[in-house]
Amino acid sequence: MIVQRNNITANIDWISIILWLVMMGFGWMNIYSANTLEESSGAFDFSQRYGKQLIWIGAALILAVLVFILDAKFYIHFSYILYAFLILVLIGVLLFGREINGAKSWFVIGGFQIQPSEFAKPVTALALASLMTSHSFNLKKFTHLLQAGVIILLPALLIMLQPDLGSTVVYFAFVFVLFREGFSANVMIMLAGLILLFFATLVIQKPLVLLIIAGISLLVYLGTKKSVKKTVVLAVAAGALFGILHTVNRHLLDDRFSLFWVGLATMVPIALFLAVILLRNRDYRSLKIIAGLCIAILFVISVDHGMNRVLKPHQQQRIYVTLGLEDDPQGVGYNVNQSKIAIGSGGFSGKGYLNGTQTKLHFVPEQSTDFIFCTVGEEWGFLGTTFVILIYAGFLLRMIVLAERQRSAFSRIFGYGFISVLFIHFMINIGMTIGLMPVIGIPLPFFSYGGSSLWAFTAFLCIFLRLDASRLELLR
């Protein structure tokens, strides 16, 4: 098939456009159902959320046209300028923004609310793609990897200060982009291990977790070395460290200290002593095992410190409720409990459109935003929720196909940035509504009520489709 280079309309991936329109349309139907009343004046009542969402959708269509009108090279050449501008805007929202629901994340202009953190996601992807396609960039070089980390973490840090935990978590999705471009699989495995370790530390007693870590380290060491002497030394060191930490944690801590700081003071001299011995013997493999052991132990003993100093009490409780460590159906667990009731009551085919009792009586707070999926479950049942999941799965697969066919590394990296952020939003949002994820306030893209999220994801998608439409011309 001959692709016309200059005809953007002919080169647009219309399958993606159709899926995008289906998601927005079905999302609006459920927003209407979640907010309509018997005395409602109709779908075009702009004082209601469904009326406002029609305005957002209309604006999103105009935004899509504007994105396609601009030359694809604009997004390449102006990526750093857009990134710098958004960083200034994120700083500005901390200084001049309005606090809503405990987070200073919004600019209020007239009757409109704009959330800059949503728009920072596609701009961060542009800057990351620009950096990674520069001539000298190499992911295997620490300084270059550090530069990529700064681009990702700088907006995440500013958003964390608002504080907006949900939007901050999304930025870690860009790690998948680095992995696609050659980031070490070992680092990805380590990150996954730390996540599992975090939840294990909350569920299992710390002494047992530390003992398991020490045991795994010994098994790894035995698999790489035959020396009984060195194995005994490592076992004694790990056992002594475990014993010291356990004793300190159980008998010596008071209100002035935390296990994190005592553990840090204990581990540093032991780790340095072992490192000196291993370096003198040029036993670098053992040194890596010791380093991994120290990182794991420090991570375990820092969980409480991080939970108490970083997360707010209600955010901590949401994690504990999700893990089944607390039962609070009338408190922080209320949203999830009502959401599961609504989804379960829908059965196989649902109660019928506009007939959801949980929806009509507003038992689930934020039912048209973060918990829109429970409206689908109640009124459309298993068939409706399956349809939504399949639409998103098909859309993600289509995006992967488009990303892999790019001739331009910039387009591919940006495409995987969109895929990663969309996947994290999709996974966490639906996971929240069915009780598999903590409630951290993440909307379902193209589906939930809200202009900022809809416009930001529309820009994200359409920039990628614009780059794809010019894939035969872009070589960077």
* 267-302 confidence digits (pLDDT tens): 566 566 666 666 666 666 666 666 766 777 777 767
Residue 186 has pLDDT above 50, yes or no: yes
81 and 161 both lie in a single domain: yes
193 lies in a domain? Answer: no
> Would you place residue 122 in the very low, low, confident or very high pLDDT band (cuts 50, 70, 90)?
very high
164 and 227 both lie in a single domain: no
321 lies in a domain? Answer: no
Percentage with pLDDT > 70 across the chain: 70
Domain boundary among 311, 342, 375: 311
Residue 415 has pLDDT above 90, yes or no: yes
Residue 375's nearest CA partner among 15, 45, 49 is: 49
Segment of 42-56, 164-178, 223-237, 271-285 carrying the highest mean pLDDT: 164-178
221 and 182 both lie in a single domain: no
Residue 4 has pLDDT above 50, yes or no: no
> Would you place residue 244 in the very low, low, confident or very high pLDDT band (cuts 50, 70, 90)?
low
318 lies in a domain? Answer: no
User: Rounded distance, CA 433 to CA 20, Å?
Assistant: 22
Contacts of 51 (CB under 8 A, 6+ apart): 43, 44, 45
476 lies in a domain? Answer: no
316 lies in a domain? Answer: no
360 and 283 both lie in a single domain: no
User: Rounded distance, CA 143 to CA 164, Å?
Assistant: 29
162 lies in a domain? Answer: yes
Residue 410 has pLDDT above 80, yes or no: yes
Residue type, 177: V
368 and 304 both lie in a single domain: no
User: Rounded distance, CA 375 to CA 430, Å?
Assistant: 12
Q: For position 382, what pLDDT does the model report?
A: 93
181 and 209 both lie in a single domain: no
Residue 322 has pLDDT above 70, yes or no: no
60 and 159 both lie in a single domain: yes
Segment of 228-237, 266-275, 427-436 carrying the highest mean pLDDT: 427-436
For 30, the domain range is 8-186+332-469
2 lies in a domain? Answer: no
Tens digits of residue pLDDT in 200-233: 777 666 655 665 666 666 555 555 555 555 555 6
Q: Which residue has the higher pLDDT, 184 or 12?
A: 12
Residue 174 has pLDDT above 50, yes or no: yes
Mean pLDDT of 45-52: 83
Q: For position 411, what pLDDT does the model report?
A: 94
Percentage with pLDDT > 90 across the chain: 37
Domain boundary among 311, 346, 367: 311
Domain boundary among 249, 277, 311: 311
The lowest-confidence range among 29-38, 83-92, 157-166 is: 29-38
175 and 59 both lie in a single domain: yes
Q: For position 110, what pLDDT does the model report?
A: 73
298 and 379 both lie in a single domain: no
Residue 87's nearest CA partner among 150, 176, 164 is: 150
Q: Which residue has the higher pLDDT, 196 or 89?
A: 89
Q: For position 165, what pLDDT does the model report?
A: 81
The lowest-confidence range among 235-239, 249-253, 340-344 is: 249-253
Residue 242 has pLDDT above 60, yes or no: no
Q: For position 2, what pLDDT does the model report?
A: 40
> Would you place residue 113 in the very low, low, confident or very high pLDDT band (cuts 50, 70, 90)?
confident
Residue 191 has pLDDT above 80, yes or no: no
Q: Which residue has the higher pLDDT, 303 or 126?
A: 126
The lowest-confidence range among 307-316, 377-386, 448-457 is: 307-316
Tens digits of residue pLDDT in 359-368: 777 777 778 8
Number of domains comprising the chain: 2
159 and 37 both lie in a single domain: yes
Q: For position 35, what pLDDT does the model report?
A: 82
The lowest-confidence range among 126-130, 411-415, 448-452 is: 448-452
302 and 407 both lie in a single domain: no
The lowest-confidence range among 28-32, 285-289, 452-456 is: 285-289
Q: Which residues pair with 98 in a beta bridge?
A: 106
Q: For position 48, what pLDDT does the model report?
A: 83
Q: For position 321, what pLDDT does the model report?
A: 66
367 lies in a domain? Answer: yes
Q: For position 252, what pLDDT does the model report?
A: 47
User: Rounded distance, CA 341 to CA 253, Å?
Assistant: 43
34 and 168 both lie in a single domain: yes
Q: For position 256, what pLDDT does the model report?
A: 41
